Chains A and B, each alone.
Chain A
Amino acid sequence: FQSAAVISPSTQRRNKGGRAPHPDAERSSKLLLREMFSSSPVTDHLREDLKYAVVPHDYMISIYRTYSAAEKLGLNASFFLSSKSANTITSFVDRGADDPLLSPLRRQRYLFDVSALSDKEELVGAELRIFRKASKEVQVPATGPYNLQLYPCRSERPLHSRSLDPLDSRKPGWEVMDVWDMFKDHPRSATGKPAPLCFHLKVTLGRSDTEVDLRQLGLDRTGRPQQEKAILVVYARSKKRENLFNEMKEKIKSRGSGKEEEEEDRGLQLKARRRRR
């Protein structure tokens, strides 16, 4: 805690030059910092790593820019967040992967860990955004547009379908699909957290059942940078006024549990070593 000098030189200067901070404020901020730092012995590196490991999608940055600009103009940003009046938008990055040896690629599984969703928030909408790269391989079919179909895994009842013009399919772009129905009856796991979400995607040619190779349409996920990975965007409305310290507490908890898991692993390794000896 001593070495974690979060108080910057400018803050120190301010404190020296001006009034001393109120003892209560100083005590509570120190407690908060101690809670934050005591949860991990290598906090500084961990914190830096965490930030740089997460690359925000352009879509999330544009949401932030649009609404913060609206706020600066004195407009109520919730007005812009569709009629659903959501005030929280969470993006979950796809954890699925394509088998590079599988050819042609007829179906894809998109997986999302949505366990971080809070039950304190009322979900009001959800969409899946899949990036389609430009593909030179696309041949314009004579039988009409492509038909993109999204299903929940373990179900053959389509969740969302939309057509894609063959000419548009040559250009890169984001395919947006409404997956709100999937959330309406989505079960929670034994821990009370929402279970992971799984979708599968297939594309057929026109009205036929002929499934198209997804690689031809630029949907191959192999070697994609973080920003081109599919995201599940969930719109929510806070049931009560959010407090910044809730976020801090969640962070501390998640770091704490990570440390516990590490310690548990270390304990198991020691036990195994002792048994071998």
Chain B
Amino acid sequence: HRRERGKKKRRRSKKVQRHRKAGAECRRHPMYVSFNEVGWTEWIVAPVGYQAFYCDGKCPFPISDYLNSTNHAIVQTLVNSVMPDRIPEVCCVPTELSSISMLYLDEQNKVVLKNYQGMVVKACGCR
């Protein structure tokens, strides 16, 4: 019975380790940009803020498929594993961005609705 308990404990600890390791991998993190905090809601009517997200984490070899790595990123990772002092690791960067619509007042107090591209991170990857 004790042996079985010990085995279960080891399995759990391995699972936790895996999760922690996965947490350090490149992924999307929340980053809320509040226009209210900087006093821009006087002229930005809507939204009062938006979730922009950011990318952070490591890109260890082998790079997972969901990280949208390029062939070059794989090669760079390989070379980095051989010569870590000379070649840096690949970067965790946004690979897919989406736009937001903003309703604001211009210099003549006219109401404008505009679509801005590349404002929200949709996916992160190793590039």
Q: Do A and B bind each other?
A: no
